[in-house]
Amino acid sequence: MVDPHYGGAWSPTPFLKAWDDYLAASREILERLKDPSANGGGSIPLPIFGAWQDFANNLGMQSDIDPLAKLAPALGWSRDYQRIVQRMLQIGSQFQSSYADFLKQSGDICERALQATRRRAAADPRLASSPVAAYEAWIDSAETAYAQAAHGEAFARSLGELCNLLSAFKVERGKLLDALARHLDIPSRAEVDSLHRQVRDLDAAVRAAAVRPSPDKAKPRKARKPAGK
Amino acid sequence: MNDDSAAFDRFLSDAKALHEQGRAALRALREIGDVDVGQSEKELIYAESKIKLYRYAPLARSLGLPPLLICYAMVNRPYMLDLQPDLSLIRELLSLGVDVYLVDWGYPDGADRFTSLQEYVCGYLDRCISVVLNKNSADALNLLGVCQGGTFSLCFAALEPRRVANLITMVAPVDFKTPENLLSKWVQHIDVDLLTQSGNVPGELLNLLFLALMPFKLTQQKYVNLLQGQADRAQLENFMRMEKWIFDSPDQPATAFREFVQWFFKENRLLRGELTIGGRTVLLKNVTCPVLNIYAKNDHLVPPSASIPLGAHVGSKDYESLAVDVGHIGMYVSRKARTTVPPAIANWLLARR
């Protein structure tokens, strides 16, 4: 085990790999969310969290992070990083579960839409001979089924959970990135934020000074009597 | 040949024709390349941070009205109001003799992470209004607030009533918690503190949220319709301009976004008279200038029920509303809105000169 604070064998490669995988997986998730037809159900078959496990290993954590290891207390020189990675793994598990629930709801919506389209096709023979009419019927049925579900509490809660979990993951990822920035001697987000705050404060002070009348102008000095008079 | 097989043959034949049309449309789309937007001539008259204030070049003799300042939303780019010469709300207003100014919020970045709503409304917008007033030696201007910009404009008019001669709100939300407001229902479950903890909110995320309001129509049908129709080059260019605008979503500055979602969407403070910006309470009853509230009947983003309550809350004795039979985006670019909205605005302003 090597303390990253003191150089040596610690390598950013696993982190960069985890980062690349994360970006690729994020893109895939966005694509899936944009195209509900691509969601066949089930959890995400992507290495979104696996590479983070490799990164955790690189920090000296257990090589195989099982549920027990996730619950183990963070110990040793890398305990701060362990906590972050543990938190990311927990969020990952929660995300998998929430996303499966979301996909199930999406699947139910598509099922209801298909049933509605079938009913329309049975009532309107035009749909059997016109792909345009059939497609319009499908879109209309799908939007109706979707709107019913989307206005419901369960769907809103599920969407909110996914968004909150991704936000939480992003916060933890930010902590790791800040640590990496420190090791690479480049400005961290916290340092940049601090600078932005200072610039803003300065800007506000300059603006306030510009509108405030100067003491000289506010209180014109009385003309001094000429000496000796 | 029985009826079923005849119908199936027609289906196959239509599908083949659609396939060919689609290929032709794709070829035509590829040839279009990049498209121009926001082509009306304008002059930059003030800039601060990412914010730019423009004045549009007149296209007709002036009606002699106070200048009209357009305050657009931060979540999209304002060139939607000047998408192309024949679909431009701004151009129509100019042609009618209105002197048009526009606030462009730009593309916020990390430096704007801590910029608050107070700074946007009481800082940037306030200073832009001062510039327009000074340039025209006027005490008050006409303010046109669009979508989220309409909400900002209402806040400003409530805080600074003497500097707004007439207020026009367009597809602007006022009541953020009506049953038809799907976006609001979703937002109630989002932890906005957590969302903004790691910085600005990516424009792509908002885009995804907007697409998710009607996913089948917005991510499938509109493309299929384009491919199956026999659009000419002008129509394809118009489609590409719309496409460019829809996905040109600036990141949202974290602090201002958090405040907007928390105060407006979650707590509905504006309607309840509990909104405070910069230590000053924003009361709609303080909006005493004439108000024209324009809303879209088929708006999926800002449903009519979110805009209509304005009349019951403003202090103005001169309040009018105009319902247009279009959707949210149709309000800016549809032929119907083009022939209805700009003349309605110009005539309404003329009547209050």
- Residue A220: which pLDDT band, with cuts at 50, 70 and 90? low
- Residue A38: which pLDDT band, with cuts at 50, 70 and 90? low
DSSP state letter for A2: -
Output the CA angle B53-B54-B59, nearest 5 degrees: 160
Cα nearest neighbour of B217 on chain A? A139
Q: Looking at the domain assignment, is residue A196 inside a domain? A: no
pLDDT score for B180: 96
Chain B residues touching residue A22 (CB < 8 angstroms): none
Instruction: Say if residues B191 and B327 touch (Cβ distance below 8 Å).
Output: no
Read off the pLDDT of each residue in B185-213 and give the average, rounded to a whole number.
Answer: 96
Best residue in A30, A31, A39, A139 for a mutation probing chain B (most B CBs within 10 Å): A139
Q: Looking at the domain assignment, is residue A199 inside a domain? A: no
Q: Looking at the domain assignment, is residue A105 inside a domain? A: yes
d(CA A59, CA B200): 30
Given a cut of 80, whether residue B343 has pLDDT beyond it is yes
**Contact with chain A for residue B212, Cβ under 8 A:** yes
pLDDT digit string, tens, across residues B43-89? 999 999 999 999 999 999 999 999 999 999 999 999 999 999 999 99
Output the CA angle B32-B36-B39, nearest 5 degrees: 150
Give the number of beta-carbon pairs within 8 Å between A and B.
103
From edge to edge, which strands make up the β-sheet containing B291-296?
Answer: B42-48, B51-56, B100-104, B68-71, B141-146, B164-170, B291-296, B319-324
CB burial class (10 A; 0-12, 13-18, 19+) of residue B282? buried
pLDDT digit string, tens, across residues A54-112? 666 666 655 455 555 556 777 777 888 888 888 999 999 999 999 999 999 999 999 99
pLDDT digit string, tens, across residues B11-45? 888 888 888 888 888 888 888 888 999 999 999 99
CA torsion B121-B122-B124-B127 (nearest 10°) is 130
Number of independent structural domains in chain A: 1
Q: With CB atoms and an 8 Å threshold, state whether B11 touches A129.
A: yes
pLDDT digit string, tens, across residues A133-189? 999 999 999 999 999 999 999 999 999 999 999 999 999 999 999 988 988 999 999
- Residue A3: which pLDDT band, with cuts at 50, 70 and 90? very low
pLDDT score for A41: 47
Output the CA angle B96-B98-B102, nearest 5 degrees: 130
pLDDT score for A7: 42
Among candidate residues A124, A19, A167, A179, the one with its CA nearest the CA of residue B197: A167
Domain ranges of chain B: 42-350
Cα nearest neighbour of A159 on chain B? B186
Q: Looking at the domain assignment, is residue A229 inside a domain? A: no
Q: Looking at the domain assignment, is residue A180 inside a domain? A: yes
Among candidate residues A53, A37, A15, A39, the one with its CA nearest the CA of residue A162: A39
Q: What are the residues whose beta carbons fall under 8 Å from the beta carbon of B232, sequence distance 6 or more?
A: none
Read off the pLDDT of each residue in B194-207 and give the average, rounded to a whole number.
Answer: 95
**Contact with chain A for residue B247, Cβ under 8 A:** no
Q: What are the residues whose beta carbons fall under 8 Å from the beta carbon of B51, sequence distance 6 or more?
A: B103, B104, B105, B106, B124, B128
**Contact with chain A for residue B197, Cβ under 8 A:** yes
Please give the structure tokens belonging to residue B283.
């009361």
pLDDT score for B302: 97
Read off the pLDDT of each residue in B138-153 and give the average, rounded to a whole number.
Answer: 98
Q: Looking at the domain assignment, is residue A192 inside a domain? A: no
Instruction: Say if residues B257 and B116 touch (Cβ distance below 8 Å).
Output: no
Q: What are the residues whose beta carbons fall under 8 Å from the beta carbon of A145, sequence distance 6 or more?
A: A109, A110, A112, A113, A116
Q: With CB atoms and an 8 Å threshold, state whether A34 touches B211.
A: yes
More confident residue, A215 or A8: A215
Q: Residue A27 is part of which domain span?
A: 4-187
pLDDT score for B8: 81
Chain A residues touching residue B115 (CB < 8 angstroms): 200
Output the CA angle B54-B55-B61, nearest 5 degrees: 165
d(CA B212, CA A103): 14
Structural fold of domain B42-350: Rossmann fold (3.40.50)
Q: How many other CB atoms sit within 10 Å of the CB of residue B121? A: 23
Angle between helices A153-184 and A131-150 (to 10 degrees): 80
Please give the structure tokens belonging to residue B276.
């405070």
Q: With CB atoms and an 8 Å threshold, state whether A34 touches B10.
A: no
Q: With CB atoms and an 8 Å threshold, state whether A200 touches B215.
A: no
Q: Looking at the domain assignment, is residue A195 inside a domain? A: no
